[in-house]
Amino acid sequence: MPLSEHEQRMLEQLEQALVADDPKFASSMEGTRRGGPTRMRWIIGVVGVVVGLALVLVGINTTMWVGAAGFAVMVAAVAYALTPPRRSKLAVVRPDGTTGPAGSGHRQKSGSGFMDKLDNRWDRRGHDGMH
């Protein structure tokens, strides 16, 4: 059953809020929704495993190196199929109608997230002690 226009707008708003709140999680879930890039990765993986298995069988009759190459092709195909695709930064449609990468409104520091949290705690602790 297709979604109504109102439901589609609400779904888009929820998706945008998810991207704004947690872009890493949103990017990991993006490929699984429609089956686009992940489906193609699975197809390539299956074809790679079949080709690798064929090379292993040919290697049994000819030389060990062909079989080893077939095994390497199978391992690479499985690894390719199981790893999620890397994506560039996600675009967010802002309330003013502009688009841009998620989190572009925030100034990013050149440190790790853990150190940023510690800095923020230290700053809060210093300000709280003043009162």
Residue 56, classified by CB atoms within 10 Å of its CB into exposed (0-12), middle (13-18) or buried (19+), is middle
Q: What is the pLDDT of residues 113-130, one digit of tens each?
A: 788 888 888 888 876 555
Sole residue written with tokens 């993986």: 45
Which ranges constitute the DSSP H helices of 1-131? 5-21, 23-34, 36-61, 64-82, 113-130
Handedness of CA 93, 99, 101, 104 (dihedral sign): negative
The pLDDT score that the predictor gives to residue 131 is 52
Q: For the chain, which residues make up each domain, given as ranges?
A: 5-103
CB 63 within 8 A of CB 57: no
The pLDDT score that the predictor gives to residue 9 is 82
pLDDT-based confidence at residue 19 (cuts at 50, 70, 90): confident
Least confident range from 44-48, 69-73, 82-86: namely 82-86
